[in-house]
Amino acid sequence: MIMGLEFLARVRKTSTWLGGVLALMAATYVSPLLGLAFAAGGVWSLVNLQVLEKLVVSVMGPARTTPEGIRGAGFSLMGMLLLLAVGALLLSLLSPMALLLGFLLPLAVIVLKAASQVLLGSRLWTGIVNHRFRAALAAVAIAALTWFALGALTSATASNEPAKSHAAGAAAESGAGAHAAEGEHAAPEGEHAAEGGEHSEGGGHGFTNIVALIAGAGHGTPWAAFLEHYEILVFSMLVAALMLLVAFLAGRNAKMIPSGLQNLVETLVEGLQDFIIGILGPKHGPRFLPFLGTLFLYILAMNLFGLIPFMHSATANLNVTVALALTVFVYVQFIGFKELGPLGWADHMLGSPRDLTGWLLAPLMLPIHMLGELAKPISLSCRLFGNIFGEDMLLVAFASLGIAMLPFQQVPFGVPMQAIFYPLVLLGGFLQAMVFTVLSTIYILLMLPHEHHDEHGHGEAAHHAH
């Protein structure tokens, strides 16, 4: 029984990964609803196998005569009845064929795994793998078979396209009179269609993400339009929620000797603390550590979030980077008013004139300082947006190149050419978050009272003197 349970565990793991990949491919390249139906069928089948396993263990295991075994068998039977009700509901809402294919996937994995175990233990397999030329010939034969099978599938898909286009042309020709009769209403609809086309084209830049798939599943509904409109906000809030979850898990059971997630988080915080205090000094560094540290981690998480399949980097959108830059700008000006006072802030904008030359240059320094302050959020937002958006487009371009390297243009996979740029994207995301944080720290430093700089400089000089 133990060997059978281990076999089922391997089947569940393989079915989960394979079903997830196939469902995402179906949702991306066929239809979001079909991908959802396939995933629902696979989950239903896996849960059903789990319930059957619990039932068999409760009935045939060593605890079958105990109250726990009887209770487990009863719960398993109730679970099977509940699964039947859920299956009936799914059949009424989703595609039955896609549900059936998803349901059959774990069963197919069981059959293939059993067949592979029989094959691996046979004399035929031993004779192939123990001879290098036979093994090479078998690998070439499998590759050629897969190649021609994909070619046949692509040819079959391509042969259906002329028929579809011919049918669409006939339908458009038969409805031309109706469209001509309703010419007054056709123009606004055409405008809306053009706007939708532009929006879909704009949203088509980059990889497909999970929010776009969900919105596509409910196309035409108000919630789908809302989700599509606020897609970037959804990803930015998702990253924030994940950061809050990590912080909660790291500090839930804090220990004097940290380990695991707590150790990782404390290492990051200590590194950021040393870095920020090194710029602002020990007097003001701890005050601004929460803001600047959170800013760095949030931007870094959003930069790298797009590397996760079917996710998106929110910082590749100018709206997010402008919001971050405006937050820094407002906070810096608030610090200037709080630390220097209104008159001190005005004196800072005038260039801190203390002699006749300074006062003569003050009318020139004021617009220069004002333009400099207004240019800071523009430079921060455009730099971050341009770099992250460029990295995303680089990955998309090389992913498309990897697909185009195969002669079958309809095959939704290819050589993962974009993978060679992952180290560069990781480094770029970290550097952009660091640059944004360093510049924000320097802007805060320039707004602090000048005696802070003097004391910090004197402290450094005394330290070097000692």
pLDDT digits (tens, 9 = 90+) for 123-175: 777 777 676 677 777 777 777 776 665 555 445 444 544 544 444 454 444 44
Residue pair 386/303 in contact by the 8 Å Cβ criterion: no
Residue 118, pLDDT > 80, answer no
pLDDT of residue 201: 36
Residue 200 pLDDT grade (very low, low, confident, very high; cuts 50, 70, 90): very low
Residue 357, pLDDT > 60, answer yes
Over range 354-374, report the average pLDDT. 79
Range picked from 89-98, 256-265, 377-386 for highest mean pLDDT: 377-386
Residue 346 pLDDT grade (very low, low, confident, very high; cuts 50, 70, 90): confident
- Is the Cα dihedral 38, 40, 42, 45 positive or negative? negative
SS3 64: coil
Lowest mean pLDDT among 179-183, 193-197, 244-248: 193-197
Closest to 440 in 3D by CA, of 449, 451, 452, 432: 432
Chain centre distance of CA 43: 22
Structure tokens at 409: 């243009």
pLDDT of residue 262: 86
pLDDT of residue 464: 42
Alpha helices in 30-66 (DSSP H): 32-60
Residue 204 pLDDT grade (very low, low, confident, very high; cuts 50, 70, 90): very low
Over range 381-396, report the average pLDDT. 89
Orientation of helix 96-120 relative to helix 67-93, angle to 10°: 130
Residue 379, pLDDT > 60, answer yes
By CB atoms closer than 10 A (0-12, 13-18, 19+), residue 39 is buried
pTM: 0.59
Residue pair 76/45 in contact by the 8 Å Cβ criterion: no
pLDDT of residue 438: 94
Closest to 279 in 3D by CA, of 108, 460, 90: 460
Residue 341, pLDDT > 70, answer yes
Structure tokens at 282: 């020990």
Over range 321-331, report the average pLDDT. 93
Residue 371, pLDDT > 70, answer yes
Range picked from 79-83, 100-104, 291-295 for highest mean pLDDT: 291-295
Structure tokens at 247: 């912080």
pLDDT of residue 203: 40
Cα distance from N-terminal residue to C-terminal residue, the chain? 74
Closest to 100 in 3D by CA, of 29, 15, 52, 38: 38
pLDDT of residue 178: 42
Over range 288-317, report the average pLDDT. 91
Q: How far apart are CA 324 and CA 314, in angstroms?
A: 11
Residue pair 405/384 in contact by the 8 Å Cβ criterion: no
How does DSSP assign 352-392, residue by residue?
A: ---SHHHHHHHHHHHHHHHHHHHHHHHHHHHHHHHHHHHHH
pLDDT of residue 322: 93
Helices H / strands E in the chain, number of each: 16, 0
Structure tokens at 159: 């042969």
- Let me know the angle formed at the C-alpha of 334 by 333 and 340, rounded to the nearest 5 degrees: 85
Residue 411 pLDDT grade (very low, low, confident, very high; cuts 50, 70, 90): low
Residue 236, pLDDT > 50, answer yes
Q: Which phi and psi angles does 403 have, rounded to 5°?
A: -70, -40
pLDDT of residue 290: 92
Q: How far apart are CA 20 and CA 256, in angstroms?
A: 41
